[in-house]
Structure 1
Amino acid sequence: MTEQRKARHLAIAGAAVAALALSACGGGDGGNGGGGNGGTDGAQPVEGGGTISAYNCEPQNLVPGNSTEVCGSWVLDHLFTGLVQADTETYEPIPGVAESWETEDATTWTFTLGEDWTFHNGDPITAQTFVDTFNWVVDPENAQQSANFFELFAGYDAVVEGEAEELEGVRAIDDYTLEIELTEPFSPLPDMLTYTAFYPMPEVAFEDIEAYEQAPIGNGRYQIDGEWEHDVQIAANRFEDYAGENPGLPERIEWRIYSDIDTAYMDVQAGQLDLLDTTPPNRLSQLEADFGENHVSFDTGAFTYLGFPLYQEEFQDPDVRHALSMAIDRQEIIDGIFDGAQTPATSIIPEFLPEGRDGVCEYCEFDPEAAAELYESAGGPSELTVYFNSGAGHEQWVEAVTNQWQQNLGIESIEFQSLEFAQYLDLHDTQAVTGPFRLGWTISYPSAQYAMEPIYTTGQSSNYTGFSNEEFDNLIDEANSNPDPDEASALYQEAEEILLEEMPVIPMWFSSYTVVYSDRVNGETVQMGEGNTFTHLWQIELVES
């Protein structure tokens, strides 16, 4: 990896992944509550599409470049369409506003835009729209939280440091041709452009961004109806002039804002809500009794791992790390503590991505006898200090892991260090961690690159293990610079195999989410979106018996 590589300051999922659970709730007409059968027997689609209402937590922001959490992103993904979208089944990049794109070197990209796209207020969308939006997002005066996703764009540093007013690497060649120039080859650019930070905004947004945020004008399948009613709801109607393919099915979406997810669960039971996409853990054991067949589970890209401080001598032998991983019965912990609501990780790349593979982690298989032999022969430490962030529900499962280590490896003494998340990261920043530690990572856009590069390549700000492997770094660089998607995918998989052999982290599990829904919802149309923790409501069909 070149020394010139910029560290991408990308957010650790941490405690927020578990805390920010999204779901959906629905209008009470026609809902039969628990014990439903999916709402499909003898039912017909609602004429015109109907109204689906959806549980949501209160968003922090509704400006695309400032949205970094799922509560806001879920709404924005329906109000906006970017240059590129992710296919809802394969997660591969497909046309959005851009009909096509091409590159010869993965550094300079040319996007050909469709000519029929407009914002909900009728303003046309051209290449200059994206130039203006991207420049506004990266302008330090606008303090947008997602500005760092533009770090690879040529001229980013000059804008951030105040030497330039515009990005050198974003150019409108003509009304419908956009050119993006990067500072280094980056083949996953189309995947990254699916992220909310790259959604286009109309000129009116820049005139009064605070007013705009209360009623965002987008170009997506749905347009906001009225204003964001804080702590109450956000409503949107289907945009009948949507220029893209696959317009929304429901006529109207109502995101109703709840402060208590258990209340939302009971409202779905009562037929007052249509859909809740994250069932509370304490309710998982009663799903069949409460909802019959009206529930479905999905794996996500939210990845939990136990990392090693490789700057500590006792963890530098890979066999020590292998043994600690093999001594963990992940399924036992998932069943006993999470009621089965996690999926044991046998890979680093989430399985739903094109590069994802199940069962590629040899040392993730529970084998206590082999683990004990390996740990003893490698001279594994007899005392450990284990670290995790407090206040996020990690105490019980971390203790279960350490109990298994003591039982299966004969470790004599294990202590715990638990800190608030900000202090916890400070400890990592100063390399003051002396033992295995819990962290998480979630992918903001569907790419194998994002699942690995920010936390494992040399010198990255989120590489808290201190892992450094030249072959791995080179493979990531080669994959990033290879414009052929199939060849890049193979390189990312090779890089993953190095991680699973060297094991700077122990893969624990990928979070799974269970959706419950009323009889008004055709359960066959419920699916997750882009590997995140929310559903594409625009695809959901409502039915009436």
Structure 2
Amino acid sequence: MQSTLFVPDSMEDMLRVKKTIAVVSVAIAAVGMLAACGGGGGSSSAEGTYSLYIGQPENPLVPGNTTESEGNQVLKALFSPLVTYNDETSEVEYDGVAESVESDDQKNWTITLKPDWTFHDGTPVNAKSYVDAWNYTALSTNAFGASYFFENVVGYDDLQAADGAEPSATAMSGLEAVDDSTIRVELKEPFAIYPVTLGYSAFSPLPEAFFTDPDAFGRRPIGNGPFKADEDFVEGQGITLTKYDDYKGPDAAQAQGVQFKVYTELSTGYTDVQAGGLDIMLDLPSDAWATARDQFGDRYGERARPDITSLGFPTYDPRFSDPRVREAFSMAIDRKAITEAIFTNTRTPANSFGSPVVDGYRDDACGAKCELNVDQANALLDQAGFDRSQPVDLWFNAGAAHDTWMTAIGNQLRTNLGVDYVLRGDLQFAQYLPLQDSKGMTGPFRSGWIMDYPSLYNFLSPLYSIPATPPAGSNYVFYNNPDFDAALSAGNNAASTDEATTEYQRAEDILIRDLPATPLFYGLNQAVWSERVDNVKIDLFGDIEVADVTVS
């Protein structure tokens, strides 16, 4: 999942994709809604309702097309997943809608649903709700960002057509609603970690009302979660959700409502939470990283984030099509200096494409390619014949405190490689992601990803595999290597999780050889809150546990 600050995604982190703990990962500008471009102000929220910071979501609030951090925080309040995860071990738990997910061959899966779940409009959550939603998300003519997550289902290819042509089918043959409580899924090949993926928001159900009017639904979603929407989302402002009294899950909302307030600048949100005009802010402006703990005391919380910030390279641009150029740029960056001087040790240098919180992570997978070596970097740039007389564009989204550290990277490139730079950080996140989709990056760009589910696979496939090429996924570097995809496939076909992890690591080794992006940092979530609220927690995925918050 793409994230704003880091992702993820979110940190979504797009795209699109767009999500455990051990060592720090990069921060994402959190989600919140009702404040106007300059930020909120005035009274924080109505009695029993608290407010939460977010940036502007990229798309209308539909699970299959929300693959970044801003919209995802809202959807996590509106929808409950099929499966959940243990907050400490990351293992799959069945506290969601699914009673069980079972298979004898890891290819044919049966998902059994719990009874009596309802959508916020009172209609039942049943097997058809999932099958219809998944088919709609996968259909290429709908151009949904999470389409890629169904790529391994039999019949997915029949729903794909290029250049706006009509696909040969509108439903995947590998999906079947056997009865109200049973979904049968046939995959193209065995996928040992399939149950692990089902906690991601793209696998959410949709009610009949969505198919009647998708546009209206995107403004006022109808979910199955602890909060419901009684009003439309207003672009640039946000939305207020209220407690759903008929919620069937184990974690009912403790507050009467949550007001998501949209801000364009972290600094404005932070000023509001200091003044009491905002209740909760997740991720802070750079000038607060070192001081927030002391200023807020017991109203401050932090947690290592399961994400990664990378510098993506537009492999479609002739200047960056040579792996030697990408390796040179990677070796010209002093990650440790930036984490210490800019991030005040609230980030950790990354030397792997995976997060430290997932099985298969290797803390030195990237090796020398992700370490400062000015001499070698210059030798590689000379070998590639790179034109140093022309500056490079450095892209990042606005309003999320990226300008400081991207400037530091630009200065290092200028000092260490003799290559000047131009900062391209004037686009908000919702504008930045579509430009990535359309090969609009004219130089290296900030790429943020937060895990969607706890697996090394999730840090590789959605970002770098061929099926994840936009608009179906988040392969914004447009990397294309069949050997990499084959290694991922070998992992999916493995007989055990351990064997699968070995193959995923082999895929990562191929990625490191080609370096279509270079790992930079893992981040830390920092949250602060007002005296009005309590029981504020950061979850496994780096989001606020919205249902747990209490209002005094």
Both structures adopt the same fold (TM-score exceeding 0.5): yes
Contact 2:33 2:237 in 1 (8 A): no
Name the residue aligned to 1:538: 547
Residues 1:437 and 2:448 are matched in the alignment: no
Residues 1:69 and 2:81 are matched in the alignment: no
Name the residue aligned to 2:53: 55
Contact 1:387 1:416 in 2 (8 A): yes
- Which shifted more, 280-289 or 420-429? 420-429
SS at match of 1:256: strand
Q: How far off is 1:426 after superposition? A: 6.2
Looking at structure 1, the residues matched to 486 and 479 of structure 2 have their Cα atoms a distance apart, in angstroms, of 17
SS at match of 1:120: coil
TM-score (norm 2): 0.74
Looking at structure 2, the residues matched to 376 and 156 of structure 1 have their Cα atoms a distance apart, in angstroms, of 46
What amino acid is aligned across from residue 375 of structure 2 in structure 1?
Answer: A
Looking at structure 2, the residues matched to 457 and 135 of structure 1 have their Cα atoms a distance apart, in angstroms, of 21
Name the residue aligned to 1:477: 489
Residues 1:107 and 2:107 are matched in the alignment: yes
Q: How far off is 1:530 after superposition? A: 2.2
What amino acid is aligned across from residue 29 of structure 2 in structure 1?
Answer: A
Matches within 5 A, 1:238-387: 238-288=243-293, 290-297=295-302, 298-305=304-311, 307=313, 325-363=330-368, 366=371, 368=373, 372=375, 384=388, 386-387=392-393
Looking at structure 2, the residues matched to 135 and 456 of structure 1 have their Cα atoms a distance apart, in angstroms, of 23
Which of 387, 394, 404 is the matching residue for 1:388?
A: 394
Q: Deviations over 1:236-264 (max 9, x none)?
A: 33334333333333343222334544332
Residues 1:448 and 2:448 are matched in the alignment: no
Looking at structure 2, the residues matched to 414 and 473 of structure 1 have their Cα atoms a distance apart, in angstroms, of 34
Q: How far off is 1:301 after superposition? A: 1.5
Name the residue aligned to 1:197: 202
Name the residue aligned to 1:46: none
- Which shifted more, 500-509 or 100-109? 500-509
Which of 192, 198, 216 is the matching residue for 1:211?
A: 216
Looking at structure 2, the residues matched to 423 and 174 of structure 1 have their Cα atoms a distance apart, in angstroms, of 42
Contact 1:328 1:401 in 2 (8 A): yes
* CA gap 1:355/1:405 in 2 versus in 1, 3 angstroms: same
Looking at structure 2, the residues matched to 69 and 480 of structure 1 have their Cα atoms a distance apart, in angstroms, of 25
Q: Deviations over 1:463-484 (max 9, x none)?
A: 74857483x5443112122363
RMSD: 4.3
Q: How far off is 1:165 after superposition? A: 3.6
What amino acid is aligned across from residue 99 of structure 1 in structure 2?
Answer: E
Q: How far off is 1:98 after superposition? A: 1.3
Name the residue aligned to 1:179: 184
- Which shifted more, 396-405 or 66-75? 396-405
Name the residue aligned to 1:506: 518
Q: Deviations over 1:267-321 (max 9, x none)?
A: 2212332210121224334424542353234424242125495998999787x87
What amino acid is aligned across from residue 526 of structure 1 in structure 2?
Answer: K
Contact 2:300 2:529 in 1 (8 A): yes
Which of 217, 226, 229 is the matching residue for 1:221?
A: 226
TM-score (norm 1): 0.75
Looking at structure 2, the residues matched to 230 and 387 of structure 1 have their Cα atoms a distance apart, in angstroms, of 29
What amino acid is aligned across from residue 80 of structure 1 in structure 2?
Answer: F
Q: How far off is 1:140 after superposition? A: 5.8
SS at match of 2:459: helix
Q: How far off is 1:61 after superposition? A: 1.1
Looking at structure 2, the residues matched to 140 and 361 of structure 1 have their Cα atoms a distance apart, in angstroms, of 35
Looking at structure 1, the residues matched to 467 and 235 of structure 2 have their Cα atoms a distance apart, in angstroms, of 41
Q: How far off is 1:156 after superposition? A: 2.8
Task: Give the greater-gyration-radius structure (CA).
Answer: 1
- Structure 1: 5+ residue stretches without partners: 1-9, 27-48
Name the residue aligned to 1:35: none
Residues 1:526 and 2:525 are matched in the alignment: no
* CA gap 1:112/1:182 in 2 versus in 1, 3 angstroms: same
Q: How far off is 1:126 after superposition? A: 1.9
* CA gap 1:278/1:137 in 2 versus in 1, 3 angstroms: same
Name the residue aligned to 1:487: 499
What amino acid is aligned across from residue 508 of structure 1 in structure 2?
Answer: L
Q: Deviations over 1:388-427 (max 9, x none)?
A: 336658676456446546766xx4x424477786777766
Contact 2:320 2:326 in 1 (8 A): no
Q: How far off is 1:134 after superposition? A: 2.5
What amino acid is aligned across from residue 537 of structure 1 in structure 2?
Answer: V
Name the residue aligned to 1:37: none
Q: How far off is 1:99 after superposition? A: 1.3
What amino acid is aligned across from residue 114 of structure 1 in structure 2?
Answer: K
* CA gap 1:484/1:124 in 2 versus in 1, 3 angstroms: farther
Contact 2:222 2:228 in 1 (8 A): yes
Contact 1:301 1:350 in 2 (8 A): yes
Looking at structure 2, the residues matched to 310 and 163 of structure 1 have their Cα atoms a distance apart, in angstroms, of 30
SS at match of 1:414: coil
Contact 1:307 1:504 in 2 (8 A): yes
Looking at structure 1, the residues matched to 314 and 354 of structure 2 have their Cα atoms a distance apart, in angstroms, of 19
* CA gap 1:258/1:456 in 2 versus in 1, 3 angstroms: closer
Contact 1:310 1:316 in 2 (8 A): no
Looking at structure 2, the residues matched to 195 and 406 of structure 1 have their Cα atoms a distance apart, in angstroms, of 41
Q: Deviations over 1:57-98 (max 9, x none)?
A: 344412223323333221111111232334444444433211
Residues 1:515 and 2:523 are matched in the alignment: no
- Structure 2: 5+ residue stretches without partners: 1-12, 18-25, 35-46, 161-165, 470-474
* CA gap 1:463/1:196 in 2 versus in 1, 3 angstroms: closer
Contact 2:15 2:145 in 1 (8 A): no
Name the residue aligned to 1:163: 168
Q: How far off is 1:169 after superposition? A: 1.5
SS at match of 1:450: helix
SS at match of 2:74: helix
Contact 1:314 1:381 in 2 (8 A): no
* CA gap 1:328/1:172 in 2 versus in 1, 3 angstroms: same
Contact 1:303 1:510 in 2 (8 A): yes
Q: Deviations over 1:296-355 (max 9, x none)?
A: 34424242125495998999787x876764553212123434454533112210123344
Contact 1:24 1:274 in 2 (8 A): no
Q: How far off is 1:538 after superposition? A: 1.6
SS at match of 1:76: helix
SS at match of 2:128: helix
- Which shifted more, 386-395 or 492-501? 386-395
Looking at structure 2, the residues matched to 250 and 147 of structure 1 have their Cα atoms a distance apart, in angstroms, of 34
Name the residue aligned to 1:42: none
Q: Deviations over 1:116-168 (max 9, x none)?
A: 32223332222122223223444566554434433333223334434334221
Name the residue aligned to 2:80: 81
Name the residue aligned to 1:3: none
